[in-house]
Amino acid sequence: MKAKVVIITGASAGIGKATAEHLMKKGFHVYGTSRKTTGNIDADTANDSQSGGFIRMITLDVTCEDSVKTAVESIISKEGHIDILVSNAGAGIAGSVEDVSLYEANLQFDVNFFGTLRMIKAVLPYMREKRYGKIIALSSVAGIISIPYQAHYSSSKFALEGLIEALRHEIAPFGIKACLIEPGDTKTDFTSSRVISKNAGEGSHYYVRFKKSLARMEKDEQSGASPFDVANTIYKMIKKKNPPVRVAVGFQYKLILFLKRILPTLVLEKVVEFLYS
C-alpha cells in the first residue's frame, strides 16, 4: 500500500515531535516543520527501516503565509499529495486580561488560530483535488474550559474549536475529515516557552494571584501526561474512518469535559476558581 503523507507543524519538540516519531514507526512519510530547522526536504532526519516510514524536517513559520505556501508546495512537488495535516504548532501567553496588551494578544492568535487557518487553507486545494484528506488540529481542554490568566490562550483555542466545527460540514462533500484533539496537562517545552506578558510583573494589580495561578499551571504541566499519549490519540484519529469532532486525551480529561456538559455553570466556576484563582 502507498505510504500516507503527513505534515506536522511544530515537530521539533513536545507533542509534534512525539507524533512525528510515532507516525514514522507506522510507515508514514512525515514532513515535520520548525522555524529553526535547516532540514533538507530530500534528506531523512530519521527513518524506520522496518516500516519504511521517515521524518524529514522542513522550515516553516505558521505566522507567515509565504513560508506556509513554500513548505506545502515543496511537499507536493516531492510527493504529489498531502493526506494528513496535523496542525500542532502552538504557544501560550500568560497574564491577566487587563495586563496583556493587544499586541501580545494578536501574537497569540497569530500562532494558535491564524497559524492553523493558514495551514488549512494551504493544504485544502490539494486534498479537495484528491477527494481525500484528514485535518487534525491541536486544541486543548482550555479550549472548552477557559483558564484565568490564560484567557488569550484559551480564547485562541475556543476560536479553533469553532473553526473546525464549521469546517467539518464544508469539507465533508469532498471526502475530507477534520477533528480536534484536546490534551490536558502534558509534559513538554510548552511550559518553558510560555511568554509572560510584559505588564504582568510586580507592578501589576493581579501580581500575587497571577503568580500563584501560573505556578499551579506549570506544576500541573510538568507532572502531566507524556506527549506520546497525545501522539497515540492523534494516530487513532488518523486511522478512524469518521473521527468525532473532538477527542480529549486521557480518562480524567474526558471526565472533566463530560462534567462541563452536565454540571451547572456556577459549580464549574467554583472548581476553576479553586484551582487557578
| Chain residues that interact with ligand NAP, rule: CB under 6 A | 9-16, 34-36, 60-63, 88-91, 111, 138, 140, 183, 185-186, 188-190, 193, 221, 224, 227
153 annotated active-site: yes
Set 4, 17, 134, 157: catalytic member: 157
Comparing CB distances to ligand NAP, the nearer of 55 and 62 is 62
> Distance between CA 137 and CA 181 in Å, rounded?
6
Q: C-alpha angle with apex 111: 138 to 171, nearest 5 degrees?
A: 50
Comparing CB distances to ligand NAP, the nearer of 11 and 117 is 11
- Kindly state the cell numbers that stand for 55: 521524518
Set 31, 149, 153, 206: catalytic member: 153
146 annotated active-site: no
Comparing CB distances to ligand NAP, the nearer of 130 and 257 is 257
* First vs last C-alpha separation in the chain: 53
| Secondary-structure percent of the chain, ordered helix, strand, coil, rounded to 5 | 50, 15, 35
Q: C-alpha angle with apex 210: 182 to 225, nearest 5 degrees?
A: 30
CB of 264 to ligand NAP, least distance (A): 26
CB of 224 to ligand NAP, least distance (A): 6
> Distance between CA 38 and CA 129 in Å, rounded?
31
Comparing CB distances to ligand NAP, the nearer of 101 and 192 is 192
74 annotated active-site: no
Beta-bridge partner residues of 218: none
CB of 16 to ligand NAP, least distance (A): 5
Set 34, 87, 96, 139: catalytic member: 139
Other Cβ atoms closer than 10 A to 155: 19
Catalytic residues: 12, 139, 153, 157
